[in-house]
Each structure stands twice: as structure tokens, then as C-alpha cells.
Amino acid sequence: MDGVLLAASLFACGPGVGMAPSLWMGGWSVLTMAMAARAERALVKTRHRITRAIEEREYYEASQLVLSLASRLHALERDAEAVGELRNVLQQLIDHGQDKEVVSLARTMVTTPEYRAQLSLEEWAPVLTRMQDARQAKVLALALIQNWAGSPDQQTAAHVALWEAMATALAPRAQASDVLEAVLASLVRLCEMLVTSEAKWFELLQQAVTSHTQTLEDWKGYINRAALFSLQIPLGLVRRAFDMCMAPLGASGVAPTPLAEFVDRVLATLTRDALSLFEDLRVAYADVLEQHAATNPLLDRIAAYYYNHQPATGSGAGLGMLGKNIRTMSASAVKFF
């Protein structure tokens, strides 16, 4: 036991025989200051170790050290300072492209109540934008969603900024040749979610990501669900999300396929008063949809949710070759979309 701790144990027993209370109190005050100085020196030492770890590219060690430092500061009731230390190391990890360690540290920050109380959702959008690994960006976004999306009064413009940052971080990494299937798949997953439990919608996003296409699909599905389940989130986000998905195709000079046209126009009809347009599109693209066996039942669910419409048995697929004729709709009608 060092001298400070030994003295502390002795003073904790109270004034000794023959010791004046004032003398004991004075000694205790001196001891308290000595212990505080000792604790401060330990904090300074840990900060130096963090700096050295980052300089030596020991990023995992740096993240563990700053968590230890934050824990000590929390014990001293210095939570704002603790979060400041966490933010500082988080930014350094981002600067060095250590997305995995960024996610590990950030998840601790947002899942620890005393730290989260010092944070705001707005500050995470630029973090997502700067991350280089799309999969890690998705993991961090999930942590943010789970810890901030539960309260209706928190569905604010900050969430819009967060989702748009996700678009910036994830969409450009998608392979242009895979975008079309991902967009349709997101509508499929949306429908699946609508018939289960919307309260558990985020769990669907926790499945393993195997490619950038899957990452884009997960994000696109999330955008759709978020727009649906919060009245303060405009459906226009869905439109912008699709446009971002299609951007790589336009840049590469690839013409939209019939499937892309269908998804594009379905998104344009997602209002309560556009049921007839939605049904016409299903007829017009029936031959395209026949190539995707599970599509029509799921489109029935979209009709039920968006338009309060229950299709009769024998949905769009049964309309057969009528689609090829309706494809000749006038240019003015197409321009509506």
C-alpha cells in the first residue's frame, strides 16, 4: 500500500487519542488534495498513453485506453469531460480510416446513458459521411437508430440529416449493375415488414451483410420504413433515395431497364389518391413482374398499406399480355412520373 492510501486508511478511522479535531480535519483536507492530485496525474498519464498508441498505430489499444479514461472521469462526476475525450479519440480514429474501431467506440458512447446524455444526433451525420467502410457505416447507423428512434418527439430533422448522411456514405459504393435488383428487393422487404411487427422493424436490418448490394438494400429498406412509420419524415426521402440508387447507372450511360422503370413509377404513385395509376402500372409491367415470382403478392401488400386497397384474388400477374399494349401509353402520361 502506498503512502497516500495508508494515510487515507488511518485518517478514515477518525481522530486519534489526544488529537485535536481541527488538526485531524486539516490533515484530512491535505490528504484529500493529495489523492485528487494523484488521480489527476493518472488521467494525464492515460492521455499520454492514448497519444502514443495512436502514433504507433495501436488503434485498438487507444480505444480501450480512452474508455478506461472516460470511466475514471465518470467516477469523478466529470461526464462532459469524459465525452470530450471520447469525441477526440473518435475523430482521430476516423482520420486514420479505422472504421471498425470507430464503430466499437461509438456504440459504447451511444449505449451508455451518461455519455449519450451529452451527445446529439446531429453530430453523427458527418461521422457516417466520413467513414470509408460501407458495412461499418451501416452497423453504426443501426446503433444510432436503436438508441434514438424510439421516441416520437425525437423524429426530427436530425434524423433526416442522419439518413441523408447514410445515403452519402452507402449509395455511391453500390455496383451499378446490381442497383435495380436491390431497389425492388427493398420494396419486397418493406412489404414483409408491414405484415409482421413494425415495432421490431429495425431487427430486419441486423442480418449479415455479404456485399455492397446487400448494404444498399438494407439501407434502402430502412429509408422506406422510416418514411412510413414517422409522419415527420417525408416520403420524398424515398424518392431521393431511389434517385441516388439510379445515379451510377446514369453516369455509366446504362439505359434504365423495364424493371427500373417500374420501380421508378411505383415510387411516384405512393399517395392515397393514386391507386388507379398503381394498378395500371402493374398491368403495364405484368410481363416484367412475371420474372419475379414473389413480386405480385408483395405488391398486393403495398396496395393494402399505401392505398387501403385489398386486390381481388388473381393479382397483376394474371393480367398477362395486356401489359405490352398499355406500355404504349402516351408520352404525356409518362411525363407525369
- Which of 85-89, 133-137, 167-171 has the least mean pLDDT? 167-171
pLDDT for 45-54, tens place per residue?
A: 989 999 999 9
> Per-residue pLDDT tens for 35-82?
666 767 888 898 999 999 999 999 999 999 999 999 988 888 888 899
Residue 240: count other Cβ atoms within 10 Å of its Cβ: 14
Closest among 179, 162, 259 to 215, alpha carbons compared = 179
Cα distance from N-terminal residue to C-terminal residue, the chain: 78
User: Distance between CA atoms of 60 and 222, rounded to whole angstroms?
Assistant: 30
What are 33's three cell numbers?
A: 488534495
pLDDT of 102: 93
In the numeric block, which cell numbers belong to residue 90? Answer: 473518435
Residue pair 212/134 in contact (Cβ under 8 Å)? The answer is: yes
- Average pLDDT, integer, range 281-310: 72
DSSP string, 159-180: HHHHHHHHHHHHGGGS-GGGHH
**Higher local confidence (pLDDT), 156 or 138:** 138
Q: Which residue has the higher pLDDT, 13 or 334?
A: 13
Mean predicted confidence (pLDDT) in 129-147: 76
Average pLDDT over residues 111-140: 81
Separation between Cα atoms, residue 296 and residue 95, nearest integer Å: 47
Residue 293 main-chain phi, psi, to 5 deg: -55, -35
Burial class (CB in 10 A: 0-12, 13-18, 19+), 208: exposed
Enumerate the domain spans of the chain.
44-66+83-88+99-113
Q: Quickly count: other Cβ atoms within 10 Å of residue 190's Cβ.
A: 24
User: What is the tens place of the pLDDT at every residue in 197-207?
Assistant: 333 333 333 33
- Phi, psi (rounded to 5 degrees) for 317: -65, -30
Q: Kindly tell me if the per-residue pLDDT of 316 is higher than 70.
A: no
Residue 257: pLDDT band with limits 50, 70, 90: low
Give the HSE-up count for residue 157: Cα atoms under 13 Å, Cβ half-sphere.
Answer: 0
> Do 134 and 92 form a contact (C-beta atoms < 8 A)?
no
Any idea of the CA torsion for 306, 311, 315, 320, to the nearest 10 degrees?
A: -90
Q: Strand, coil or helix: what is 97?
A: coil
Give the other-Cβ count within 10 Å of 88's Cβ: 13
pLDDT in tens, 170-211: 554 443 333 334 444 444 444 344 334 333 333 333 332 233
Cα–chain-centroid distance for residue 42?
36
d(CA 233, CA 137): 21
Best CA proximity match to 187, nearest among 303, 271, 290, 334 = 303
